[in-house]
Amino acid sequence: MVGVSAALHLQQRGRDVILVDKHELAGEETSYGNAGLIERASVFPYMFPRDFGQILRYALNRSPQVRYAVADLPAFLPWLVRYYLASSPERALHSALAELPLIRRSLIEHEALIGEAGVPQLLRKTGWIKLFRSEATLKDALRDRDRAKQYGVEGETLDARDIAEREPALTGDFAGGIYWSTPAFVPDPGGLAKAYAALFARKGGRFLIGDARTLEQRGGGWRIAGADGAIVAREIVVALGPWSDQVFRPLGYSIPLAVKRGYHLHLQPRGNAVLNHPVLDSDSGFLLAPMNRGIRLTTGVEFARRDAPPTPIQVERALPKARALFPLGEAVDANPWMGARPCLPDMLPVIGKAPRHKGLWFDFGHQHHGLTLGPATGRLLAEMMTGETPFADPKPFAVERFG
């Protein structure tokens, strides 16, 4: 989503663009496996918790929201320390205010591209629902809702009757919920990325199957090898999500990119059961979303090496609770899907020019919001690359913030 969106915005500004991917189609990796939310309600990024009890549950691997592989702890512990430090109230507010213009622009940019791509069926303005099983977690959520309201985001408090009216097929004892009306929902995120790639091709863009690790600087430009031969360009945009380090590290950049792995599984609804909105069972750590392929069960975060074998324990633990919440039938997928969210410690992407290489640009690290922010950050990057006045301040996203 991030790469295709950047390509489209550069194309709109008269650039001749080639989109390079290791797959034959776009949208086969991280963009495929998310909750499908264009999340205009998440003003505050997903920061490291400050509550000691919650941290202790994480440390003991007893939280449904987060799991980690003990063997991989030495590898990602230094990054977690940076994540914790970047999550102080002051620094979290800085990240939130930096990203706010992008959040506000997110749906506007998607609507423009969806209209041009001719796929209105891939956008549903349903909003989404967060459910809370305890008074304590509901109280915390209401405090977060009131804080978000200061930045123009409205959330409607739901009691048990409200929840039943909006989602009659749900079963469970809930202290309450919050309905976020402003986010939109995409019932096929991978399909949307492919629709944008098809639009790019119709407008004259070229698609190359290639290996980004072959990137090298040649004279006044950049060369990359593809299945049908090499190409050379004056400028290159690195938008490889969780694999971006395979390009920037050999070039000498030390950027603290890490991944939060996640899983999903599609299941058929039983009988006539209908899910009207994406629904997060906050205390149980899973989300159900009504995708075209079936009801998508998505998990929380797994801290593990990006390329380590899948360990879908969170899916296995969530399934009985999900079946108790909503009438779920047989699995549509043979196995749970696994993906990786590319994250920087301050939960802001890197967008902008590389300081030591002419013609090298970065656009990666969108954490949980790649689907949401792809078109908005694509616009910001294209404005920077073509000399336009950026619609948002690009300084908070500069790679130089990491030294």
- Show the 3-state SS of the chain: CHHHHHHHHHHHCCCCCEEEECCCCCCCCHHHCCCCEECCCCCCCCCCCCCHHHHHHHHCCCCCCEEECHHHHHHHHHHHHHHHHHCCHHHHHHHHHHHHHHHHHHHHHHHHHHHHHCCHHHCECCCEEEEECCHHHHHHHHHHHHHHHCCCCCEEEECHHHHHHHCCCCCCCCCEEEEECCCEECCCHHHHHHHHHHHHHHCCCEEEEECHHHCEEECCEEEEEECCEEEEECCEEECCHHHCHHHHCCCCCCCCCEEEEEEEEEEEECCCCCCCCCEEECCCCEEEEEECCEEEEECCEEECCCCCCCCCHHHHHHHHHHHHHCCEEEECCCCCEEEEEEECCCCCCEEEECCCCCCEEEEECCHHHHHHHHHHHHHHHHHHHCCCCCCCCCHHHCHHHHC
370 contacts 30 by C-beta, under 8 angstroms: yes
Distance separating alpha carbons of residues 18 and 228, to the nearest angstrom: 13
> What CA–CA distances, in Å, run from 110 to 9, 55, 124, 239, 364?
12, 36, 12, 18, 18
Where the chain has pLDDT below 50, the residues are: none
Distance separating alpha carbons of residues 246 and 255, to the nearest angstrom: 11
226-282 pLDDT per residue, tens: 877 889 999 999 999 999 999 999 999 999 999 999 999 999 999 999 999 999 999
pLDDT at 42: 85
Distance separating alpha carbons of residues 394 and 385, to the nearest angstrom: 12
Report residue 32 as tokens: 């495929």
pLDDT at 275: 98
64 contacts 318 by C-beta, under 8 angstroms: yes
Q: Which domains does the chain have, with CATH numbers?
A: 1-47+87-122+185-257+345-403 (3.50.50.60)
Give me the amino acid identity at 326.
F
Residue 26 C-beta-side C-alpha neighbours within 13 Å:
28
Give me the amino acid identity at 246.
Q
pLDDT at 58: 84
pLDDT at 27: 87
36 contacts 371 by C-beta, under 8 angstroms: yes
Q: How many Å separate Cα 205 from the centre of its chain?
A: 25
Q: How many Å separate Cα 275 from the centre of its chain?
A: 22
List Cβ neighbours of 203 (8 Å cut-off, separation of 6 or more): 8, 11
> What CA–CA distances, in Å, run from 129 to 170, 278, 300, 374?
12, 6, 16, 23
φ, ψ of residue 225 to 5 degrees: the values are -90, 140
Q: Which of 155, 153, 163, 157 is nearest to 138 (CA)?
A: 157
φ, ψ of residue 66 to 5 degrees: the values are -140, 135
306 contacts 261 by C-beta, under 8 angstroms: yes
277 contacts 129 by C-beta, under 8 angstroms: yes
pLDDT at 51: 82
pLDDT at 72: 87
197 contacts 24 by C-beta, under 8 angstroms: no
